[in-house]
Amino acid sequence: MQKLVECVPNISEGRDARIIAAVTAEIESTEGVHLLDVDPGADTNRTVITFIGAPGPVAKAAFKVVAKAAELIDMRHHSGAHPRHGATDVCPFVPVRGVTMDECVELAREVGDRIGRELDIPVYLYEAAAMKPERKNLAHVRKGEYEALQSKLGTEQWKPDFGPNRWDDHTAQTGATNVAARGFLVAYNVNLNTRNKSVASQIALDIKEAGRAKRDKNGRIVKDEHGKTILVPGPYRLEACKAVGWVIPEYDRAQVSMNLVDTAVTKPHQAFEACRRGAADRGVRVTGSELVGLIPEGDMLAAGKYFLKKAGQCPGVPRRMLIETAIQSMGLRDIGPFDPAEKIIEYQAGLTDGPLVGMTNREFVDELSSDSPAPGGGSVAALACAQAAALVAMVGNLTAGKKKYAAVADEVMGMAEEAQELKDFYLAALDQDTAAFNRVMASFRLPKGTPAHAAERDLAVAEATREATRIPLSVLARTPRLMALADRMAAIGNTNSLSDAGVAILMASAGAEGAYYNVLINLEALAGLDQSTEPGFAAATLDAAREALASCEEAAASARSRIREKLESSLA
């Protein structure tokens, strides 16, 4: 799975289009990142920028944004309605896909350190990246805003996490930058079949993390000894959820409007269900919902799986079907269109299937049969495994929901779900294998006219070849599990689909051996290259490949024998 991180820097300029364009150009010129949104505000004098990519390119682009903003924005002349600390006020990193929060914390600290060292800008870490508990809350870190920095810098209490602890002409111009790792925030509204704001507000109090004011038996709000209102959790309280009730005349209905500030904690479908229960308590209905802005694909997939399981159906279906299930189940087209290509962050960034996966069968086979060396056997091996995984999922879907197989329904649905994930992994490897081969060819074209150039070229060829070896190895390493799924599905799945499970075994076996061949031929090419950077790579790779292939061969032999015996016995 490709690792994806979102970065949302906010710069202290929302009026000068030339400055905003110059800053965003730094993102557009960084290979491997996709600029998703630029949202300037004149009153706030602030622009929210959103981009996405792999961790490395995102870190590079984020640093360039901070550097360019510091160059072009002078905080001594800045004013605006929004709280701000510096030329780049905040720079949060958000895990989207294949990345943990801990990895984003490390990324935030690495970028923060670089900003402090190379740009000489004070950096404060907040949210999950904070190194001091009291700095977790951005409001605390930014207290007093830019104007307070002159008195705060130079003190031990407000010593930045990185960068200078001083006030001078340079820091007066740049201000401080606040860098964070945080969860993905989704703005999400649930629609009600009423125009009564009070009903929406009561549901909001039911679900919001902060809870509602405690009241005594006479209905009066209860306060503590310091005069602060005591809050108690509502019956459907959701962590990481802020909520209010309002009426939208344009929609002619009330809504429960929510900020889900970390969808790793609370996802939209969970908020939808909590609102539905709160509405039922008050005799109203949820008619649908509205997503404001973008959402990660994973959150939509989680919703689709939840609603399929709730209906007793198999969640091991293709991603597009899961997403459509989520859209329909949450009524995301209730008050307007919902196009996954525009609303899902990975799709909007164009991070969908690769060029080979997007081909028709005819186009792929025609390309395969041409004089181009790629795609080749490595991509075909990955495709064979993808087809095997698809067959396993198919048998699972043809088994789930049948009374005859009720005793194994949960196991079958779990296997189908896992098979779909394997299918997507192998499909991604199909394009990755060809891309890795093309990088090897590109490294051979590097200059080698001088000894220094020749040495650099050899190292580049070796690294590209190692990467080209890792792709088929990853395919091979996953295939013993695929074999186990296919074998188990043949044993307990729908007997009318036994032949399909058998073909899955055959395709997985072919894919495994094909991937093994590609590992070997790449290791052979690697043998004549400089191995100094990873001296143990070849031996470790060969051992891992042999072990995985042996496991696949053993599983395939026994599974093929059992399946053939079952099929032949039915004719006796």
Note the pLDDT tens digit of each residue in 48-80.
Answer: 999 999 999 999 999 999 999 999 999 999 999
Residues 201 and 308 in one domain: yes
Reported as a single tens digit per residue, the pLDDT across 444-491 is 999 999 999 998 999 999 999 999 999 999 999 999 999 999 999 999
| Residue 174 · residue 149 · CB < 8 Å | no
| Residue 184 · residue 94 · CB < 8 Å | yes
* Alpha-carbon distances, residue 563 vs 227, 300, 415, 501, 550 (angstroms): 74, 37, 19, 8, 20
pLDDT computed for residue 293 by the predictor:
87
Whether 135 maps to a domain, the answer reads: yes
What is the enclosing helix (H) or strand (E) of 347? Answer: helix 345-348
**What is the rounded distance in angstroms from the CA atom of residue 443 to the CA atom of residue 532?**
17
Last residue within a domain, chosen from 287, 314, 348: 348
Phi, psi of 238 (to 5 degrees): -120, 130
Report the b/e string of 361-379 with b at 16+ CB within 10 A. Answer: eeebeebbeeeeebbebbb
Last residue within a domain, chosen from 324, 348, 372: 348
| Residue 241 · residue 275 · CB < 8 Å | no
Residues 307 and 383 in one domain: no
Nearest to 385 by CA among 514, 500, 551, 498: 514
Nearest to 18 by CA among 89, 81, 69: 69
DSSP 428-461: HHHHHHHHHHHHHHHHHTS--SSHHHHHHHHHHH
Residues 309 and 260 in one domain: yes
Reported as a single tens digit per residue, the pLDDT across 215-259 is 888 889 999 888 888 899 999 999 999 999 999 999 999 999 999
Residues 167 and 248 in one domain: no
pLDDT computed for residue 245 by the predictor:
95
Residues 500 and 549 in one domain: yes
The CB-side HSE value for 290 (13 A sphere, CA atoms) comes to 16
**What is the rounded distance in angstroms from the CA atom of residue 24 to the CA atom of residue 157?**
34
Q: Mapping DSSP to helix (H, G, I), strand (E, B) and coil, where does residue 361 land?
A: helix
Whether 250 maps to a domain, the answer reads: yes
Whether 425 maps to a domain, the answer reads: yes
With a pLDDT cut of 70, the percent of the chain lying above it is 100
Active site amino acids = 82, 433
Nearest to 209 by CA among 236, 235, 187, 240: 240
pLDDT computed for residue 570 by the predictor:
79
pLDDT computed for residue 16 by the predictor:
96
Whether 355 maps to a domain, the answer reads: no
Q: Write the single-letter amino acid at 399.
A: T
Last residue within a domain, chosen from 154, 181, 208: 181
- Here the CATH number for the domain that contains residue 201 is 3.30.70.670
Residues 78 and 216 in one domain: no
**What is the rounded distance in angstroms from the CA atom of residue 411 to the CA atom of residue 391?**
16
How much is the average pLDDT of 255-264? 94
Residues 130 and 145 in one domain: yes
| Residue 187 · residue 268 · CB < 8 Å | no
- Taking the alpha carbons of 423, 425, 431, 436 in that order, is the dihedral positive or negative? negative
- Here the CATH number for the domain that contains residue 70 is 3.30.990.10
User: Is the pLDDT confidence value at 1 over 70?
Assistant: no
Residues 466 and 492 in one domain: yes
User: How far does Cα 536 stand from its chain's mean position?
Assistant: 32
| Residue 210 · residue 226 · CB < 8 Å | no
Reported as a single tens digit per residue, the pLDDT across 118-144 is 999 999 999 999 999 999 999 999 999
Q: What is the mean pLDDT of the chain?
A: 95
Residues 78 and 220 in one domain: no
**What is the rounded distance in angstroms from the CA atom of residue 390 to the CA atom of residue 409?**
18
Residues 161 and 196 in one domain: no
Residues 343 and 397 in one domain: no
Residues 107 and 157 in one domain: yes
Q: Which two tokens stand for residue 140?
A: 């605390």
DSSP 133-165: GGGSSHHHHTTTHHHHHHHHTTSSTT--SBS--
Q: Which domain holds residue 312?
A: 186-348
Nearest to 237 by CA among 205, 261, 259, 262: 205
Report the b/e string of 42-65 with b at 16+ CB within 10 A. Answer: eebbbbbbbbbbbbebbbbbbbbb
The structural domain count of the chain equals 3
* Alpha-carbon distances, residue 111 vs 24, 60, 82, 118, 162 (angstroms): 18, 8, 24, 10, 10
**What is the rounded distance in angstroms from the CA atom of residue 422 to the CA atom of residue 348?**
24
Please state whether the peptide bond connecting residue 315 to the residue before it is cis, i.e. omega within 30 degrees of 0.
Answer: no
Whether 339 maps to a domain, the answer reads: yes
Whether 493 maps to a domain, the answer reads: yes
Whether 354 maps to a domain, the answer reads: no
- Here the CATH number for the domain that contains residue 382 is 1.20.120.680
Sequence-ordered list of residues with C-beta below 8 angstroms from that of 449, at least 6 positions apart, any chain: none
Whether 353 maps to a domain, the answer reads: no
Reported as a single tens digit per residue, the pLDDT across 526-567 is 998 877 788 899 999 999 999 999 999 999 999 999 999 999
